[in-house]
Chain A
Amino acid sequence: MMDSRKSNKETCDRISHLPEAILHHILSFLSTKDVLRTSFLSKSWSNLWTSIPILDFDETRFYDKEVMFYYRCYHADCSQGRKAEDKMWERKKRFADLIDRSLLLHEGQNIRELKINFHHLNDSVFMTRFDPWVRFALTNVLVFHLDLSSDLSWSEKYPESMYQLPPCHFPSKLLKVMELNFCLFNPLEHNNFPCLETVILTEVELLETSVQDLIANCPHLEFLHLKHCVWPDPLEVINIGAPRSQLKHLRLESNDVDGYDINVPSLLHIQFVGETEEMYNCLFVKNLSKLIDASLEFEPNYLHSSHGEVLCEFLNDVDHVKVLTLSDYCLQV
C-alpha cells in the first residue's frame, strides 16, 4: 500500500520550499564545507546558510590530507623545504579569509554558536586577524569557543606570541558561554559580561587578579573551569575572592600555581583535579558554608611530608560537605 514507486528524478523543487527551521536542521547535519557548497544552488540557498544559527570553523576539517602533511612537516621541522611551508601559510590565509567573509555576511545578526579552531603557530602574522572575530563574538554570539592551540608542545609555544584578546569597552549583552583555549585574557580590559554563565579557560594566561576580576565582571557566572592556566609569576597563591558572586561550581585543573585562597560564599561544588608539578603550598578556603561537595582528585608529581598539614586544614574547613571525593594520593598523606 505504501509507495513502491521509486523515482529519483524529481518533477518539482520541494526542498527549497521547506520551512527554514527544517532547512537549518538539514544544514546542521553537514560539514561547513558542504554547507558552503549549498550557497551555489540558487538565490534562496545562497542566503540560507548565512542565517544558520551555528558557525563552526575548524581548521583541521577544512584541509585535506596533503595540507595536514605540511603541518606535520612544519611541526617536525623536517626538510620538506620552504615549498611546503609556503603552501601551508597560503592555506591558513585562505581559511582566515573565509572566516572574515562569513562573519561579514552575518554582521548585525545574532548567532547561537561560533566555534573557531585555528592553530596559532609561533608567529604574529595572523594575530591581528583574530581581533575582529573576537569582537564579533563578544557582541553577536551566545556561545563562543575560541581554540588557538596547536600540537606544539608547551615549551615551544609559550610564552612568545600568545594572542591577547582585544579590549572591549561595551558590555557583551548576549554571551552566555565562553570557552577560550591558548590566549591571554585580561578581564579588566572588558566592560562586563552581564549574561555570562559558563567560562572555561584552557591554557590561558591570566594576570594575578584576573580570576577575581572575571568573577566581578560576570554577575551571573555559575560555572568556572580553569585548566592548565598560567600566571606571569607561577609561584604564587591565587586569590579567588568574590563575596557577592553567584558562582556555584569551581573546577581547578592542573593550573600552574602554588596554591589558592578561596572565598566564594555562593559555591556549591569545588573540585581540584589533574596533575600538578608540586603539591599546593596552601589551600585556604573561607566562607564555604553552602558547599555540597568537594573533591580533591589531584596528583602531585612529588610526595612531601608537609602535604598532610595543608590537606588537613582544608578538610577541616570543609567538614560540612555532603560528598567528599579524594584521590589515592590524598588518602595516602
Chain B
Amino acid sequence: MSSTKIFLKSSDDKTFEIDETAARASETLKNIIDGGCLDGVIPLPNVSSNILPKVIEYCKKHGGDNGSSKKIANGGVDKDKEILPDYDEEEDKREKVRVDELKKWEEEYMDFDQQVLYDLMLAANYLHIKGLLDLTVEKAASMIRGRTPDQIRENFNINSDFTPEEEEEMILIEDEWDDEWAFD
C-alpha cells in the first residue's frame, strides 16, 4: 500500500507529518483529502503543537480502521503474512490478543492529566475523530459516575456559585435522593 504523506500545521505554526491512511481516521481530514483541495500543508488553527502529536499517535493506531478489527490486521504493519483467515479457533485467539493489546495500548495512551484530556477532547471534536472523542468523553464521565457533587466539584475544580440558601435546599434534596437511590 502506498502511503502518501500529509503535513499538518498546528496553531503555533509547527508542522507534523502523518500518513494519509492514518489521517483518514479523522472525518475532517478525510473530507479535505477527498475534496482534493489538499495544498501541501493542512492548517489546524484549533490544535496546538502540544496536543497534535498525541492526536497523530491515535490516528496511527486507528488509521484505516473502519470498525472491523480484521482491517487493522491487514492494513497495519505486516508482522506475519496472513492468508485469508478462515473462521476458526486460531482466528478467535488472534482476535482476542488484538483486543487485549488494544486495551493495553488505550490504557497507556490515556494516562495523562486533565489539561491534556480537555485539549484532546476538543481536538477530537474539531477533527471529528469519533473513537478518540468517545474515549476522552468516557474518561471525563468516569470521573463523575457514582460520585457526590462535592467529589465531582473537587475533581474538576468547579466553584459552586449557589447562594447559601440554595445550597442548603440542595443538600436536602440530595439527601432525599441518596435515600432513594442508594448506590448499588
Instruction: Name A's B-contacting residues (CB within 8 A).
Output: 1-3, 5-16, 18-19, 21-22, 25-27, 29-31, 33-34, 36-38, 40-43, 45, 62-66, 91, 94
Contacts and interface: CB of A to CB of B under 8 A. Distances in A.
B156 A29 contact: no
B157 A12 contact: yes
Contacts of B162: 42-43
B138 interface: yes
A11 B113 CA distance: 12
> In the complex, which of the residues A9, A10, A21, A31 has the most CB atoms of chain B within 10 Å of its own CB atom?
A10
B122 A22 contact: yes
B134 to A, nearest CB: 8
A66 B173 CA distance: 20
Main DSSP-derived SS at the A contact region: loop
Interface in B93-143: 111-116, 118, 121-122, 125, 133, 137-138, 140-141
Contacts of A8: 113-114, 155
B141 A16 contact: no
Contacts of A37: 144, 147-149, 152, 174, 177
Given A19-B125, A22-B122, A14 B152 contact: no
Contacts of A64: 180-184
Interface of B: 53-54, 111-116, 118, 121-122, 125, 133, 137-138, 140-141, 144-149, 152-153, 155-162, 170, 173-174, 177, 180-184
Given A6-B112, A41-B149, 4 more contacts: A15-B158, A21-B125, A42-B153, A42-B162
14 contacts: A3-B116, A6-B111, A10-B155, A14-B118, A19-B122, A19-B125, A22-B122, A22-B125, A22-B133, A27-B141, A37-B148, A40-B174, A42-B161, A63-B180
A13 B157 contact: yes
A95 B44 CA distance: 48
Contact of B113 (A3, A27, A42, A94): A3
B157 A10 contact: yes
Contact of A13 (B112, B149, B156, B170): B156
B70 to A, nearest CB: 28
Nearest to B119: A14
Contacts of A2: 53-54, 112
Contact of A30 (B54, B144, B153): B144
Contacts of A26: 137, 140-141, 144
Contacts of B113: 3, 5-8
Given A22-B122, A22-B137, A62 B181 contact: yes
A25 B133 contact: yes
Contact of A34 (B138, B144, B153): B144
A91 B160 contact: no
Contacts of A30: 141, 144-145
Given A22-B121, A22-B137, A38 B115 contact: no
A34 B184 CA distance: 13
Contacts of B152: 37-38, 41
Nearest to A30: B141
B6 to A, nearest CB: 21
Contacts of B177: 33, 36-37
Contacts of B115: 14
A203 B158 CA distance: 47
A10 B139 CA distance: 16
Contacts of B174: 37, 40
Contacts of A7: 113
A230 B184 CA distance: 38
B16 to A, nearest CB: 13
Q: Which 9 A-B pairs have the closest CB atoms?
A: A29-B141, A10-B157, A40-B149, A64-B182, A15-B156, A14-B118, A13-B157, A25-B137, A3-B112
A29 B138 contact: yes
Nearest to A1: B53
A3 B50 CA distance: 9
Contacts of B149: 37-38, 40-41
Contact of B158 (A9, A16, A94): A16
